[in-house]
Structure 1
Amino acid sequence: MKLRIYVLRTVLLRILAAGAVLLAVLQILDLLDVTTDILERGLGVAGVAYHATLRLPRLVEQVAPLSVLAGGLFAFAQLAREQAVTAMRAAGVSSYRLLEMAVPAALVIVLLHFTAAELVAPRTDAVLEAWWQASEPGTPVDPSPRAFRSGAEIVVAKPGASSGERLNDVRIYRRDAQGRVSERIEAASATYADGVWRLHDPRMLRFTPDQALASSAVELAWRSRLQPADVRSLLSPAQAPSAASARRALEGGGSERPDSYYAVRVQRAFAAPIGVLVMLLLAAPVALGNFRTREGAVLTVAALAAGLSFLVADGLLTALGESAALSPLLAAWTAPAVFAALAGTALLRMEG
């Protein structure tokens, strides 16, 4: 038990330290771009701190894999230099057991990554964008209309509220089974309440083979899978859809990109955290290196190069999947599977 706690503490502390350093660097670089604008808007130091806090979840998402790679390299290199691994192997503790003792440290980062990317960041992104728009000096600029799909319907609208519960200048084009426009609905606004969108002062124009039939109403219920969270993501240039929003897009909710993009986004919600564990596996062979010779340094450089190559390959395959050049499963899971197999093979050969 003491050995397990020692290994876990060594790995976890170095992962957290590496994450803190990487997070500080990214935060500084991010603030360099916006601090001048924040101060010019009269928001002061409090505004800078508020911006940094709201940006934190996205930065955590970015640094999580690299923090595990760097922290794992530092931890395993220390254990190897101190001959702790040699003593463990002499006592019958294999490298696989050593890796198993370190996995809980990576699982902490996996949980943190998933929470930040899928639960916290979609909310803080919306708050940050609303705060940034509200603090913009001068007369607010009327937003441009955006077009997106909601099931078989084409929707053109302007954002009406930062919460995503209101749309302005709404136009809905309904299509038949052949894709031809069968009805056009125009409304001054639409509001979301009790799970239903309500169109205010709608004007309908229904097309038949012979004529166009016009009608109007005071209010009309528009039943759609579109939700306020989807509106925030669709009508914002900065926000990325969460896995829940991507799944709703595939089921007929709001979407403005190909289905392949949302299918890959759903898979990435689970594959990206698994990539954190792959980083730990790539760093594990360093523990078996001999740091009295060049072997330790070579293994460290090779593990670092493998980790960076994994990030590049993962990003490239994801882009191919989003453009429908690869299936979503292959795009999201090929890189984690291949690099995990390579790291496992290296560890197996060194152990043998």
Structure 2
Amino acid sequence: MTSQSIARGPRHVLLRYLSVSLISRAAMCCGILIALMEILALLEQMTPILRRHLGLAGVLTYMALHLPAMMQTALPLSVLIGMLLMLTQMTVNSEVAILRASGLSPVGFLRLLIPATLAIGLFGIVLEDQITPRTELALASWWNRSDPHPEDGHAFWFHVPRGQASTCGMAATSPAPTASELAHIGYVTHAGHDAYEIDLYDRDASGRLLRTLHADHAHHSEQGWTLHDIRCISVSFASLDATADDDTSPEARWINPFGPTDMLRLSLDSSPLSSNLILKALHGRAATNLTPGYLRATLFERFLRPLSLIVMLLLAMSVIYIPPRTGLRSWLPVWCLGAGLLFIIVQGMFRAMGNAGLLPAPVATVPGLIIFTLAAGTALLRNEDK
């Protein structure tokens, strides 16, 4: 057996020990935060659940479907607190001093913690990109189906893609190729299969209004959307007047490429989107009420999640320099926690400017990572020189 294999064995043991310690503490902190968030959410939603006579099953359904979204929210802070707990405990118990005496540098110690941090970050990407959008949509569908007063729901607007606009007074089998349609929906029921108080505004290529259509009800079936109880008004720019069409049928087909799932998603104040759906929305193939700047910033932030956790690891690494005699009386873990919270706040501020379109998506996500990486690296180098 060579000296390299002898050295590699203890290093693998140490890597496994540090990874399990970090992941277990992060999971514990995440569980505590989720429990607190679930309690607060149930305090707000318990009355509507009981009014709908959903009982204990409704409470458990709400908790289960809302769990991934809460986990996604709690994950960054739980990882930061878990890192601080682990590193502080190892420093106070002289484990860090023993490792450094055996020749392990702070850079080597950091390198051993990065795999577990990246694994948590990749789990966060999968959670945010694949699990949360599905569970939140399932929660919205369940909540909409059990709503006794759907007429109090959220009204919304969206664009029907160009070339798909329906024609007033006919079955829309030959839509005008240059038209675009703006739609307003009052509320949806039956998980998006029925829409009420529909107002459609057909416009030409220059944006001028051609006709308006109001339908009391639209139902989605295997053949698509069907409008019921239609009233239509055409606009003539030649005579500058608006006339009601007498030949409008009580029913007409609505050529709308968006199905019940899209309608349900649009009826929500905010709905998590998968990366595939974000790309489709940016290219006009999916319905969304979010701005392109918001979508791009969301995509950048999602895939930079592992790097943001590594920045938090760098911010927490300073606790390994707690003086041995100070122990738990040191304020260094508190300062590191404050630095991590400041990082989250700054990232949120940059993200808000990206959502508002004031900053491009890369500028709204990357600078915060660079600034705090440099700050954490400077703090580590200064502590190492002391």
Q: TM-score with structure 1 length normalisation?
A: 0.84
The match for 1:141 is 151
Contact kept, 8 Å, 1:290 with 1:296, in 2: the verdict is: no
Contact kept, 8 Å, 1:146 with 1:235, in 2: the verdict is: yes
Q: Residue type matched to 1:173 in 2?
A: Y
Residue 278 of structure 2 is aligned to residue 249 of structure 1? no
Q: Residue type matched to 1:127 in 2?
A: A
1:234 deviation in Å? 1.3
Contact kept, 8 Å, 2:83 with 2:313, in 1: the verdict is: yes
Q: Residue type matched to 2:159 in 1?
A: R
Contact kept, 8 Å, 1:27 with 1:52, in 2: the verdict is: yes
Q: Which has the greater radius of gyration?
A: 2
For residues 261 and 153 of structure 1, do their structure 2 counterparts lie closer, same or farther at Cα, with a shift above 3 Å needed?
farther
- Paired with 1:11 and 1:114, the residues of 2 have a C-alpha distance of 18
For residues 232 and 338 of structure 1, do their structure 2 counterparts lie closer, same or farther at Cα, with a shift above 3 Å needed?
farther
Structural mapping, 1:88-99, within 5 Å: 88-99=99-110
The match for 1:42 is 53
Tell me, which stretches of 5 or more residues in structure 2 are unaligned?
A: 1-11, 162-179
SS of residue in 2 equivalent to 1:154: strand
Matched pairs, number: 348
The match for 1:23 is 34
- Paired with 1:283 and 1:321, the residues of 2 have a C-alpha distance of 27
Moved more, 317-326 or 114-123: 114-123
1:275-301 Cα shifts (integer Å, max 9, x gaps): 233222211221233242379823212
Moved more, 72-81 or 211-220: 211-220
Structural mapping, 1:170-249, within 5 Å: 170-182=198-210, 184=212, 188-189=217-218, 191=220, 198-200=225-227, 209-210=237-238, 220=253, 222=255, 224=257, 226=258, 228-237=260-269, 239-249=271-281
Residue 318 of structure 2 is aligned to residue 285 of structure 1? yes
SS of residue in 2 equivalent to 1:249: helix
Structural mapping, 1:1-352, within 5 Å: 1-136=12-147, 140-141=150-151, 143=153, 145-151=155-161, 153-182=181-210, 184=212, 188-189=217-218, 191=220, 198-200=225-227, 209-210=237-238, 220=253, 222=255, 224=257, 226=258, 228-237=260-269, 239-252=271-284, 253-293=286-326, 297-352=330-385
1:169 deviation in Å? 4.5
1:210-244 Cα shifts (integer Å, max 9, x gaps): 378967687546264x4544332211235344444
Contact kept, 8 Å, 1:85 with 1:288, in 2: the verdict is: no
Q: Residue type matched to 1:333 in 2?
A: V
1:316 deviation in Å? 1.4
Percent sequence identity is 29
1:61 deviation in Å? 0.9
1:144 deviation in Å? 6.1
Contact kept, 8 Å, 2:227 with 2:254, in 1: the verdict is: no
Tell me, which stretches of 5 or more residues in structure 1 are unaligned?
A: none
1:206 deviation in Å? 6.7
- Paired with 1:184 and 1:341, the residues of 2 have a C-alpha distance of 57
Contact kept, 8 Å, 1:233 with 1:241, in 2: the verdict is: no
- Paired with 1:241 and 1:6, the residues of 2 have a C-alpha distance of 36
How much is the aligned-residue C-alpha RMSD, in angstroms? Answer: 3.2
Q: Residue type matched to 2:207 in 1?
A: G
